[in-house]
Amino acid sequence: MDNIAGTKSSLTWAVHLSVAFLVILWLFPTVGLFVSSFRTADQIATSGWWKAMFAAEQNLQLRTAGPDDQVQDGALYVIEGNVLEGSEAKGISAWGTSARDTQAYEPGETVELRDGSRMTLDGEGNYRLESDAPFEGRRGERVFATATVPPEFTLQNYRNMLFDPSNREGMTRAFFSTLTVTIPATIIPILIAAFAAYALAWMEFPGRALLIAAVVGLLVVPLQLALIPLLKFHNAIGIGKGYLGVWFAHTGFGLPLAIYLLRNYMVGLPRDIIENAKVDGATDFQIFTRIILPLSFPALASFAIFQFLWTWNDLLVAMVFLVDATGETTVMTKQIVELLGTRGGNWEILATAAFISMAVPIIVFFAMQRYLVRGLLAGSVK
């Protein structure tokens, strides 16, 4: 409101700040999951995702070099080296040699181990093991250290969920399953609805007003009512559970909105064009395909986006009409719900799966936002 006379500038600042606050509030949950999908299971479990951008203290389990590397220094046998070699971590703040007390010692402290040897570890990770007798065995000493690990992101989660054929929980099959449901379920209702909308918008016949009212009424009928009757019907005609059934169902459920949106748009097209074409001898079929369809592109695009988002994101219709006991045709939403049940705490799996399913709608959303907004404005029943 900065251009209204007499408005205090403090109010303008308040507006900017509150909008910024709301935007952050709205983005925060999504960003959290997004960041988590690029972190390893350990990272997710030990620190909040908002700490992922910064170096964080982590408990590491490390090992010194083995007895093979020992050198004799006078009467002493010595092993020297750096435990942090090869790892990104640096800056040890505490360490220990037992899993029960991983933060027992300060850096720089010298401690006696069980076998009589002495160990020193400094903040940089340099260690020195001394013993009066030769070191034996093959493996080095275990060391638990609390060290600062720089931020690290990985694509491994996506590799596991998308490109690992041995992963039974992978999303690839579900992704293609969703795609297979979505595309026919978007295209077919548009075609059927476009013809019906043209008839309802530009043809005169008895019962037209009644039909339009019926479409408006069907707009709000909950699809929950249709589940059992249609499942019975699909079983009776022999298509059972499968893609065909889910395509039919989405077509039926999407039609009222499609007809309503398209009719409202077509009614607004200029009457002159249609009448001129009729005078020139064009048939209704020609008028429809040559004039109305191209002119209605914005409305067709609006509905296509709606139907696409709705079928892609749908869970209920897919569960009832598509996914059978074998789970061969499971869609992404269904698979995520299953993962929520079986892998409730494995956020690296859940976050990645969720983002794989959300990627396509979000791209479509940002690419075609204009049409989506237009469709919303036309589609909410006035």
Partner 1 sequence: MHPALQGLVTIVVGVGGCVGYFYLSNFLLDRFLLPARAYSAEESAARRRTGTIIVFLLPALLIAALYIAYFGLDGIFTSTGLFWLAIVLALIFGLWRLRDYVYGEGELTAGRNISHANMIRPWLFLLPAILALGLYLTYPVFETLRLSVTQRNFSTGSYDFVGLQNYAQMMDEPKFWEAMRNNMLWLIVVPALSTGFGLLVAQLTDRISWGNIAKMFIFMPMAISFVGASVIWKLVYDARPEGQGQIGILNALWVNLGGDPQNWLTLPFWNNFFLMAVLIWIQTGFAMVILSAALRGIPEETVEAAIVDGAGPFQIFFKIKVPQIVPTIVVVWTTITLVVLKVFDIVFAMTNGQWGTQVLANYMYSKLFTANDWGVGSASAMVIMLLVTPILVWNVRNARREMK
Residues within window 249-288 making contact with partner 1, judged by CB under 8 A: 249, 251-253, 255-256, 259, 283-285, 288
Q: Whole-angstrom Cα distance, residue 228 to residue 238?
A: 15
Q: Whole-angstrom Cα distance, residue 328 to residue 342?
A: 18
In angstroms, give the least distance from the CB of 244 to partner 1: 7
**By CB under 8 A, residue 149 contacts partner 1:** no
- CA atoms within a 13 Å half-sphere pointing along the CA-CB vector of 290: 10
Q: Can you tell me which of 122, 148, 158, 243 binds partner 1, judged by CB under 8 A?
A: 243
**By CB under 8 A, residue 198 contacts partner 1:** yes
In angstroms, give the least distance from the CB of 124 to partner 1: 26
In angstroms, give the least distance from the CB of 51 to partner 1: 9
**By CB under 8 A, residue 22 contacts partner 1:** yes
Binding-residue pattern over the window 39 to 68 for partner 1, x denoting contact by CB under 8 A: -----xxxxxxx------------------
Q: Can you tell me which of 113, 133, 213, 273 binds partner 1, judged by CB under 8 A?
A: 213
Q: Whole-angstrom Cα distance, residue 167 to residue 289?
A: 48
**By CB under 8 A, residue 195 contacts partner 1:** yes
Q: Whole-angstrom Cα distance, residue 199 to residue 211?
A: 11
Residue 271 is encoded by which pair of tokens? Answer: 């009457």
Q: Whole-angstrom Cα distance, residue 192 to residue 194?
A: 6
**By CB under 8 A, residue 376 contacts partner 1:** yes
Q: Can you tell me which of 26, 72, 137, 236 binds partner 1, judged by CB under 8 A?
A: 26
Q: Can you tell me which of 74, 134, 137, 222 binds partner 1, judged by CB under 8 A?
A: 222
Neighbours of 232 (CB within 10 A): 10
| Interacting positions 160-189 with partner 1 (CB under 8 A) | 176-177, 179-180, 183-184, 187-188
**CB-nearer residue toward partner 1: 78 or 226:** 226
Which secondary structure element, helix H or strand E, spans residue 33, and what is its range? helix 9-36
| Interacting positions 339-358 with partner 1 (CB under 8 A) | 340, 347, 350-351, 353-354, 357-358
**CB-nearer residue toward partner 1: 104 or 293:** 293
Residue 344: partners with Cβ closer than 8 Å, 6 or more residues away: 350
In angstroms, give the least distance from the CB of 247 to partner 1: 6
Residue 167 is encoded by which pair of tokens? Answer: 């992963």
**By CB under 8 A, residue 321 contacts partner 1:** no
In angstroms, give the least distance from the CB of 1 to partner 1: 5
**By CB under 8 A, residue 16 contacts partner 1:** yes
Q: ∠ at Cα 363 (358, 366), nearest 5°?
A: 120
DSSP sequence for 51-72: GTTS-EEEEEEEE---GGG-EE
**By CB under 8 A, residue 236 contacts partner 1:** no
Residue 340: partners with Cβ closer than 8 Å, 6 or more residues away: 350
**By CB under 8 A, residue 10 contacts partner 1:** no
- Cα-Cα end-to-end distance for the chain: 29
**CB-nearer residue toward partner 1: 76 or 360:** 360
User: What's the one-letter identity of residue 315?
Assistant: L
The neighbouring-strand residues paired with 78 are 71, 130
